[in-house]
């Protein structure tokens, strides 16, 4: 049965018109097969590029989200720090002005003005020291972002050096002054009123005053470092948004190019298919003419 089928097939193909149809079907099949393969290769190549870009875009979005949160935390910390600096300055000015009067020098003492702040701030000294250490590590990023000769790096470096020089402020234990701060007994208050030794006097350069100045220096330096880091993060966010826009545009262009390349490949292969068909049909016609001449002879 199989031999019979094969013989019928061969007889069918011997017919010239059948050969043309058969070759046409074969070429059409080859054309669509090659087109499918080339389209798959083009799609795979371009989609691989798009996947990489989309992965980069996802990473950028994650970094942008984390940076936004960091900026928000920095702004909150800076706001708190500024309010402390402003309120302390206003209170200091009021107390120091009062202490400069004849009556005030008996009423306002270093225990009233400086010691409570020293007591409260050193209670959380380890946290503050850790914070200063963390901010000091941003120096490399500031250098990379603003440049080695930038004013920002110079100010940041000076501020971190100053903070590290004054960080020993947090090593002093002021908890021993607890009773001295919160003792409002008549005897203690009377002694303070009758004595000028603890009055707020810049010329005496009291130990508490020196330590308080250290604390204010740390506050100002910390505020400056926060401003510089915040400026750097805002700059990075702007650059990151531009990079995201560029990646989105590149993804869109690749998607458009993919369609264009596939269409071009289809047209090119179709032209090649027509040329092949033309030569094959011409070859079959020439062969048929040659066979016809032989039969006439």
The tokens describing 137, both together, are 């590590």
Examine the pLDDT at 61 and tell me if it is beyond 60.
Answer: yes
- Give the three-state DSSP class for 109: strand
Gyration radius from the chain CA atoms: 43
Cβ atoms 92, 113 nearer than 8 A? yes
- Give the three-state DSSP class for 198: coil
Mean pLDDT of 102-131: 73
- Give the three-state DSSP class for 192: helix
DSSP bridge pairs for 109: 199
Query: How do the residues of the chain divide into helix, strand and coil, expressed in percent and rounded to 5?
Result: 90, 0, 10
DSSP bridge pairs for 199: 109
Q: Cα separation of 101 and 96, whole Å?
A: 9
Residue appearing with tokens 């989105």: 248
Residue appearing with tokens 């000028």: 196
What sign results for the dihedral spanned by CA atoms 214, 217, 219, 222?
Answer: negative
Per-residue pLDDT at 194 = 54
Higher-pLDDT residue of 134 and 20 is 134
Per-residue pLDDT at 71 = 87
User: What does the mean pLDDT of the chain come to?
Assistant: 76
Q: Cα separation of 106 and 117, whole Å?
A: 20
The tokens describing 1, both together, are 């049965």
Examine the pLDDT at 12 and tell me if it is beyond 70.
Answer: no
Per-residue pLDDT at 9 = 45
pTM exceeds 0.75 for this model: no
Per-residue pLDDT at 18 = 54
Per-residue pLDDT at 53 = 86
Cβ atoms 192, 109 nearer than 8 A? yes
Q: Cα separation of 65 and 278, whole Å?
A: 62
**What crossing angle do the helices spanning 139-146 and 151-166 adopt, rounded to 10°?**
170
Residue 24 pLDDT class (50, 70, 90 cuts): low
Mean pLDDT of 158-187: 77
Percent of the chain with pLDDT over 70: 71
């Amino acid at each position: 049965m199989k031999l019979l089928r094969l013989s019928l097939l061969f007889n069918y193909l011997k017919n010239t018109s059948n050969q043309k149809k058969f070759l046409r079907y074969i070429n059409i099949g080859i054309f669509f097969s090659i087109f499918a393969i080339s389209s798959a290769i083009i799609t795979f190549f371009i989609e691989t590029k798009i996947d990489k870009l989309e992965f980069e875009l996802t990473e950028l979005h994650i970094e942008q989200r984390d940076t936004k949160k960091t900026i928000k935390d920095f702004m909150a910390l800076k706001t708190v720090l500024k309010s402390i600096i402003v309120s302390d300055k206003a209170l200091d000015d009021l107390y120091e002005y009062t202490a400069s009067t004849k009556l005030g020098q008996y009423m306002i003492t270093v225990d009233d003005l400086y010691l409570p702040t020293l007591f409260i701030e050193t209670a959380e000294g380890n946290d503050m020291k850790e914070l200063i250490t963390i901010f000091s590590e941003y120096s490399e990023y500031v250098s990379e972002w603003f440049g080695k000769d930038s004013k920002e790096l110079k100010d940041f470096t000076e501020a971190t050096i100053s903070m590290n020089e004054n960080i020993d402020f947090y090593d002093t234990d002021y908890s021993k002054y607890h009773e001295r701060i919160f003792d409002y007994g008549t005897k203690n208050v009377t002694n303070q009123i009758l004595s000028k030794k603890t009055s707020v006097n810049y010329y005496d350069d009291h130990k508490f005053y020196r330590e308080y100045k250290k604390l204010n220096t740390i506050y100002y330096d910390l505020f400056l470092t926060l401003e510089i880091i915040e400026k750097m993060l805002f700059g990075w966010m702007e650059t990151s948004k531009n990079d995201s826009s560029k990646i989105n545009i590149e993804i869109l262009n690749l998607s458009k190019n993919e369609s264009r390349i596939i269409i071009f490949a289809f047209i090119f292969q179709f032209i090649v298919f027509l040329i092949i068909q033309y030569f094959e049909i011409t070859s079959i016609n020439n062969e048929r003419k040659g066979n016809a001449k032989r039969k006439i002879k």
